[in-house]
């Protein structure tokens, strides 16, 4: 999978990468993925499709991709990366629906005349079973985006401290969201 480079002949360190698997090929998959993402961003943001601007884009994206590819993709595996992105794309609409529903709840609280009797702020702690950092990042941001809960503290080991505004919000933790985030990153 890592060897799907289309520029294999210009590869600088093919012999040493065989001895040392940690050192990857220069124009490998990581380079091309970074390049494609950079180039797509370039085209959307410039909006100019003549030869001059496109070639400028190719040159700068190639430089950026070569410098950053090995930092961006610690362990590149096209199939797994695509699976993660696909599952994340499925997760986002669900999250948006949750944000919408929870926002209505927040609206109700905000305009309720006896709001201070309805809310019951407290700190909630729980241990998450998510074990990778990207999953923890998505989980923490999802908790903050769904109103009623703000992530106060996250550790790499998966400990979360959350400030919940009322009983309903506190009861929903970690709950379904954790299952869904964990499912994104299972292989």
Q: Which of 24, 26, 84, 163 binds another protein (CB under 8 A)?
A: 163
Q: Are 123 and 152 in contact (CB under 8 A)?
A: yes
Listed residue (60, 5, 71, 7) closest to 38, CA to CA: 60
Kindly state whether residue 115 participates in binding another protein, applying the rule CB under 8 A: yes
16-24, 63-71, 74-82, 142-150 -> range binding another protein (CB under 8 A)? 142-150
Going by the DSSP 8-state scheme, the letter that residue 22 receives in this structure is T
Shortest Cβ 100–another protein spacing (Å): 7
Nearer to another protein, 53 or 70 (CB): 53
Report the alpha-carbon distance of residue 147 to residue 126 in Å, rounded. 18
Nearer to another protein, 16 or 120 (CB): 120
Q: Which ranges constitute the DSSP H helices of 112-185?
A: 115-118, 133-145, 167-171, 175-185
Q: Which of 17, 30, 146, 173 binds another protein (CB under 8 A)?
A: 146
Kindly state whether residue 25 participates in binding another protein, applying the rule CB under 8 A: no
Helix (H) or strand (E) holding 55: helix 51-72
Helix (H) or strand (E) holding 104: helix 78-111
Kindly state whether residue 145 participates in binding another protein, applying the rule CB under 8 A: yes
Angle at which helices 29-46 and 78-111 cross, to 10°: 50
Report the alpha-carbon distance of residue 74 to residue 148 in Å, rounded. 35
Shortest Cβ 124–another protein spacing (Å): 11
Kindly state whether residue 110 participates in binding another protein, applying the rule CB under 8 A: yes
Kindly state whether residue 140 participates in binding another protein, applying the rule CB under 8 A: yes
Kindly state whether residue 111 participates in binding another protein, applying the rule CB under 8 A: yes
Tokens of 65: 């991709």
Residues at the interface with another protein (CB under 8 A): 44-45, 47, 96, 99-100, 102-103, 106-107, 109-111, 115-117, 119-123, 140-141, 144-148, 150-153, 163, 165
């Amino acid at each position: 999978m890592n060897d799907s480079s289309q520029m294999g002949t210009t590869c600088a360190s093919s012999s040493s990468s065989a001895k040392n698997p940690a050192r990857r090929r220069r124009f490998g998959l990581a380079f091309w993925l970074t390049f494609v993402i950079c180039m797509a961003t370039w085209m959307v943001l410039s909006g100019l499709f003549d030869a001059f601007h496109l070639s400028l884009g190719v040159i700068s994206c190639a430089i950026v991709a070569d410098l950053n590819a090995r930092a961006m993709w610690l362990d590149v595996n096209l199939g797994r990366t695509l699976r993660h992105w696909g599952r994340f794309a499925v997760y986002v609409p669900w999250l948006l629906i949750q944000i919408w529903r929870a926002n209505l709840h927040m609206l109700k609280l905000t305009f309720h005349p006896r709001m201070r009797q309805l809310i019951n702020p407290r700190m909630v702690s729980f241990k998450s079973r998510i074990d990778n950092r990207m999953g923890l990042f998505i989980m923490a941001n999802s908790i903050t985006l769904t109103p009623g809960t703000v992530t106060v503290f996250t550790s790499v080991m998966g400990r979360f401290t959350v400030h919940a505004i009322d009983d309903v919000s506190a009861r929903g933790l970690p709950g379904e969201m954790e299952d869904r985030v964990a499912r994104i990153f299972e292989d």
